[in-house]
Amino acid sequence: MTLRINDVAPDFTAETTQGSLRFHEWIGDGWAVLFSHPKNFTPVCTTELGTMAGLESEFRKRNVKIIGISVDPVESHGKWKDDIRTATGYDVEYPLIGDRDLNVAKLYDMLPAAAGASSEGRTPADNATVRSVYVIGPDKKIKLILTYPMTTGRNFHEIIRAIDSIQLTAKHQVATPANWQQGDDVIITAAVSNEDAIARFGSFDTVLPYLRKTKQPTA
């Protein structure tokens, strides 16, 4: 079954570079990003995992844990870390799941259409995981889903931007317009009346009857 936003993220137990973990328990009362890559010791994946390592402190500021996954064995993840450091200058300190039996990949629909039944004899063209991203909230529900092809490296700054927007919405009942960045004006959601908007935000601009903008809340 295809996962959708607001579904409860499937729980699982998996072996990682930091030992066995149960996913929901590992998330705890914070946020999480689960992201897959096709294969260890490949060029695009090396740049991606190093980039995530460099951004880990930014995720931590937002109470977000990050965890990677591919169908490579845990031992391969450990050996690959040296190459990632050489290529990007960053140490991968977040856990990496070794999903050799494809259990998690299947739970999260991370396999391409031509995927095989197991990890044995796989190639990047068949049962490697594509570049999936799931953002999961403290309620264990899926807040964002992204899927990129194997040849396209992701913009992880965009994932941070999206998390900032999602967390702002959760706290203040506002939405964010196209190309929004931290500090830009935000949109008051339809669920907030004009009277309530004045009480909450002090003032707002009515661009259209259904489009009201206000300064980004800071408290």
Q: Residue 9 to residues 85, 172, 174, 194, 217: CA-CA distances in angstroms? A: 31, 24, 24, 35, 29
Q: What are the beta bridge partners of residue 206?
A: 212
Q: Interior CA angle at 168 toward 192 and 37, to 5°?
A: 135
Q: CA 77 to CA 82: how far, in whole Å?
A: 10
End-to-end CA distance of the chain: 40
Q: Do the beta carbons of residue 96 and residue 69 sit within 8 Å? A: yes
Catalytic status, residue 45: yes
Catalytic member of 45, 66, 159, 187: 45
Q: Do the beta carbons of residue 56 and residue 93 sit within 8 Å? A: yes
Q: From edge to edge, which strands make up the β-sheet containing 96-98?
A: 19-22, 13-16, 96-98, 64-70, 31-36, 131-136, 142-148
- Catalytic (active-site) positions: 45
